[in-house]
Each structure stands twice: as C-alpha cells, then as structure tokens.
Amino acid sequence: MLIGILLLGLSAIILAVIGMFAVPLGLGAAISPLYLAAALALFLAIGLWMQRNLVRLRRALTRSHHKQRRMSATARIDPLTGMFNRASFMRALDKALARRQNGGPSVAVLLVDLNFMPVNDAHGHAVGDQVLIEMARRISAAKQAGTTVARVGGDEFALLLEGDAATPETIGHRLLDDIAAPVQVPNGNVRISATIGIAAAEKRQVSGEELLRAAELALRGTRRGLHGSLRRFEAGMEEALKERHALEVDLRRALDEDEIVPFYQPLIALDGDRLIGFEVLARWQHPTRGLIPPAAFIPLAEEIGRIGELFDKLLVRACSDARSWPSDLRLSVNISPTQFAEPQMASRILDILAKENFAPARLELEITENALVDEVSSARLILTTLRNVGVSVALDDFGTGYSSLRHLSDLPVDRLKIDRGFVESARLNEEGWRIVRAIVQLAGTFDLATTAEGIEAPEILSTLRELGCDIGQGYLFGKPISAEQTSLWLLGRPLPTALAS
C-alpha cells in the first residue's frame, strides 16, 4: 500500500514537472490532457502491479520461512511426544562425548524399552498413542539437570546423563517404578513394564553409536519382571559387541555375494501320507565360521535393514529351484514382521513370481503372531492383496505371541502352525496334548488348516493324526536339505522313511 501511494505521488510530481517545462519549450500544444491522463494511468497501473506482486512475494517468503521452521522442527522433534528424536539425541550425545574427551563431565546412556505390544493388541493404536504420550511425560519428569531425553524408536526412549548428580542405576530404578504405575485409559487402567540398558563412557574413546549400541546390548541381557529390570553394559558384552560387528560385516558381504541359500524341509499331508511341498529355510555356510544358524543372522539382517533384500533373494532362488519340481508342490516361506512396514512388499512379491513364472497358488507365506500385533493394518492390506491372486497365508508359532481371536477372524489367514514347543511338550505330559488339541479345535472353528512342527517320534505322529492335524513337518520326515539334494530325492518321489514303514 505504501509503495502504491509513493508511486501515485511520484506520478503527480512528474506530470507537474512536464507541465512546467512544456510551455517554455514550445511543447504545450503537443502534450494534450489526454496524453497526460494516459501517462498518469500508466504510472498508476505500474504502481498497483508492483504493490500486488510485492505483497505476493512477501507472503510467499513468509510461507517459505514457516515451512522451513516446521521442517527444521520435524527433523529434530518426535511429532507424537514432542521429545527430541533419534537424530537430535545422537547429535547431543556426540557433543557430550567430545566435551568428556576435553575434561568434561562423565557421560552415560540409559536405553528404555517399553513392553508395549499387549497395549496395542488389547486397546488399539489410539489408546496406545495415549499411553505412549503418558510414558514420555513420566520419563521426562524423571530427568535431572544435565539430562537429555529422546524417543529413539517406536517404544524406545533414551536418556543422556552428564555429571555425577545421581548414578544411572538410581535414575533407572526410579524410571522403572514410574513406568510400572497404572495408566488410566477409557476402558480402565493398563500397566506396562520396561527394561533398561545402561552404558557409560569409560576410559577409552567411544562414538555415540557405539555407546548407544552398548546400551542396547545390555538391554538384551535383562529379564522382564513385574516392574521390569535393568542391566549395565559389562566388559564381556563388549566382546559380544565386537563379535556382532564382525558378523554384521560378514553378513553384508554374504548378501552381496549370494552366500545365503535356501534349504528345503518336507511338508507332509497326514491324512494321505503325501508330500505337498517344502518349507524354505535360510542357511548361511560361512567360509570360516561354518554353518551359522538363522537365529544368529536373521535378527541381524532386520537390524541393519536388509531383511527385505534377503527375503527377495531367497524367494527368487526358491522359485527357480522349484520350477523343475512337480507343479503340485508348494513353497512355504517365512516373512519378517519388519517387512510389513514396507508399502511395496506385496507388489515386490508379485513381481518376483511373475518374473520367475511361478504360480501364486504354489506360494505360502508364514508370518508370526507378533507381526500381526505390530503392523496389523498394513499386514491386512498386504496379505489381502496377495491372497486375492492365490497366495496362501500361515500363522507361524501359534500360541507363543500376542495375537488374539480377533486376528483370526479379521485377517486373511489359511493355516495355523503349532509351535514345536507344544509338540515336544506333548511327548512328556498330557497337558501338552491338551494344548495341541485345543489349537486344532480352534483352527477348525475358524475353518483353518493346521501344521504341527517338530515331529520326531512315530507315536507323536500317530496322535497328531488322531487329533485331526492336517500337515506335519520335522526330522521324522526329513531334515532341511539343499536344492540339489531335494531334486535328487524327488527323482523317484519316494515317501519319507517314517511313512514308507
């Protein structure tokens, strides 16, 4: 507005000057009032145009400034709790360690892991978020001067302690008590427990990532109790941490060089003694360490963000192996819970099946109960997409996790796998058989098939048949073997030894 007024005044001055000098110069007749009016209008138009566009420019700059501030805050702050996020925490930790190297105060990290899955399972994610916000408030309230608090994961929080005002253990025990107190929710109260790992920067120089990883290693060594527990990182754990790092380096190389290959364990239909397919199991034959069990490298692949790559490579290899096998044999492949956070997972699987010319009806995906708890919405969408084209779904290790009956009716599941622990306990006592019988009956109620894992004795096989279990697998039928061994075994399609007898 001010610019427009100034231009209007400038226009008037210019016209007055033109009028003053026009007559002495003999231009009075040449400059008519019409031209003067046109000139005035032009100046006014230019002034208004400049005013409008300058206002727009100022608004655009203001919006850009606000957007940059929001983006800056988003990069530093967890949107749900308002705490620092992981990136901000790591920056603060690195600065604290630098101060310590220059004679500054001591540095320690507390990593708090909430036992949160039962809350989301029983009350839903909206209530879960409410409880999470309350936990964040309690953790923040427990901090003291010189403490930085952050949310570093879905249900993980970290505290950075500087100085000796209170020992990390003292703060940790106080946190465990505060967290264990009930939280009021719309349908009553909920209680959750937590575990805490503690790591302090000792004499040698460490990075922020190393210190946080040490706290995580200590966290894994704790045992959950009613009010949780805590543990400090110890020297023995450091060796384990080095071993883990070496294994991580080897795992990255193994993935790049396709060193991890599928092995195949027979799946037997118990009603007709028929081979119906194989479970695909990852095997890593390390050049110097020998055979490394999946329990050692599958969680590590999840931690370093390469479990999806490992799954894809195993599926491609398995589809390629099975193309030369009888077309009525299916493959059952385990899928990691973390993969349900990948929105493109279903399309990736379908692309692999198409490229390998492998019928979707020959593929079964095995998912754990905890996968359904953590990512129930995305799991439903992904599994429904895959089932619509013929892929079947099995719920693995049923009875060992946090799933509920609601998941059996809401989610597209075709089969329950009875955990080997229940099958093994059935050999020892009647209580084990009652559990197996109950799972088989529950599956029948929901029109689901069942598979019993870990069958190693003929008497177990006989009882499972009597209970109506559909499919069996275990060392009684055959151990996992390589693709080459499987192809040789299939040449004559012999029955497993237990069934042939």
What is the CB neighbour count within 10 angstroms for residue 272?
Answer: 8
Q: Retrieve residue 401's tokens.
A: 């996790």
Reported confidence tier of residue 448, pLDDT bands at 50, 70, 90: very high
Pair 275, 268: CB distance under 8 Å? yes
Query: Can you give the pLDDT at residue 47?
Result: 65
Q: What is the DSSP string of 35-98?
A: HHHHHHHHHHHHHHHHHHHHHHHHHHHHHHHHHHHHHHHHHHB-TTT-SB-HHHHHHHHHHHHH
Mean pLDDT for the chain overall: 82
Query: Can you give the pLDDT at residue 432?
Result: 78
DSSP-derived 3-state class of residue 199: strand
Pair 418, 452: CB distance under 8 Å? yes
Q: How far is CA 441 from CA 104, 416, 444, in A?
A: 65, 11, 5
| Domain 243-492: CATH architecture, name and number where available | Alpha-Beta Barrel (3.20)
Q: How far is CA 348 from CA 260, 308, 354, 475, 479, in A?
A: 20, 10, 10, 33, 30
The stretch 406-415 carries a mean pLDDT of 80
| Cα(492)–Cα(501) distance, integer angstroms | 17
Query: Can you give the pLDDT at residue 343?
Result: 73
The stretch 201-214 carries a mean pLDDT of 84
Please enumerate in sequence order all residues whose Cβ is within 8 A of that of 471, keeping only pairs 6 or more positions apart, or say none.
267, 268, 269, 270, 276, 415, 449, 450, 451, 452
Query: Can you give the pLDDT at residue 266?
Result: 96
| Cα(262)–Cα(312) distance, integer angstroms | 11
What is the CB neighbour count within 10 angstroms for residue 38?
Answer: 11
Q: Which helix (H) or strand (E) holds 111?
A: strand 107-114
Query: Can you give the pLDDT at residue 25?
Result: 47
Weakest-pLDDT range from 25-34, 116-125, 135-144, 246-255: 25-34
Rg (CA), the chain: 34
CB burial of 64-97 (b: ≥16 within 10 Å; e: otherwise) equals eeeeeeeeeeeeebbeebebbbeebbbebbeebb
Reported confidence tier of residue 498, pLDDT bands at 50, 70, 90: very low
Supply the pTM of this predicted model.
0.61
What is the CB neighbour count within 10 angstroms for residue 424?
Answer: 17
The stretch 371-388 carries a mean pLDDT of 77
Reported confidence tier of residue 128, pLDDT bands at 50, 70, 90: confident
Query: Can you give the pLDDT at residue 184?
Result: 87
Pick the most confident of 348-357, 376-385, 434-443.
348-357
DSSP-derived 3-state class of residue 186: coil
Please enumerate in sequence order all residues whose Cβ is within 8 A of that of 139, keeping only pairs 6 or more positions apart, or say none.
112, 149, 157, 159, 175, 178, 179
Number of H-type helices and E-type strands within the chain:
19, 16
Look at the chain and count its residues: 501
| Cα(111)–Cα(214) distance, integer angstroms | 10
What is the CB neighbour count within 10 angstroms for residue 390?
Answer: 12
Reported confidence tier of residue 67, pLDDT bands at 50, 70, 90: low
Pair 113, 155: CB distance under 8 Å? yes
The stretch 170-185 carries a mean pLDDT of 90
Q: Three-state secondary structure along 13-40? A: HHHHHHHHHHCCCCCCCCCCHHHHHHHH
Instruction: Look at residue 7 and tell me whether its pLDDT is greater than 70.
Output: no
Starting from the edge strand earliest in sequence, which strands make up the sheet with 194-200, in order? 147-151, 156-162, 107-114, 194-200, 229-232
The stretch 290-305 carries a mean pLDDT of 87
Query: Can you give the pLDDT at residue 329?
Result: 96
| Domain 86-233: CATH architecture, name and number where available | 2-Layer Sandwich (3.30)
| Cα(357)–Cα(379) distance, integer angstroms | 25
The stretch 210-224 carries a mean pLDDT of 80
Q: What is the DSSP string of 280-310?
A: EEEEEEETTTEEEPHHHHHHHHHHTT-HHHH
Instruction: Look at residue 16 and tell me whether its pLDDT is greater than 70.
Output: no
Query: Can you give the pLDDT at residue 225?
Result: 44
Instruction: Look at residue 18 and tell me whether its pLDDT is greater than 60.
Output: no
| Cα(244)–Cα(28) distance, integer angstroms | 95
| Cα(360)–Cα(345) distance, integer angstroms | 15
Query: Can you give the pLDDT at residue 1?
Result: 53
Instruction: Look at residue 436 and tell me whether its pLDDT is greater than 50.
Output: yes
Instruction: Look at residue 477 and tell me whether its pLDDT is greater than 50.
Output: yes
**C-alpha torsion 53→54→55→59, nearest 10:** 100
Going by the DSSP 8-state scheme, the letter that residue 481 receives in this structure is B
Q: Which amino acid is at 459?
A: E
Q: What residue segments make up the domains of the chain, in order of their start?
A: 2-76, 86-233, 243-492
Give me the sign of the Cα torsion angle 91, 93, 96, 102: negative
Pair 333, 314: CB distance under 8 Å? yes
Query: Can you give the pLDDT at residue 500?
Result: 42
Percent of the chain predicted with pLDDT > 70: 75
Instruction: Look at residue 406 and tell me whether its pLDDT is greater than 70.
Output: no
Query: Can you give the pLDDT at residue 494?
Result: 54
Pair 267, 332: CB distance under 8 Å? yes
| Cα(465)–Cα(459) distance, integer angstroms | 10
Query: Can you give the pLDDT at residue 424?
Result: 82
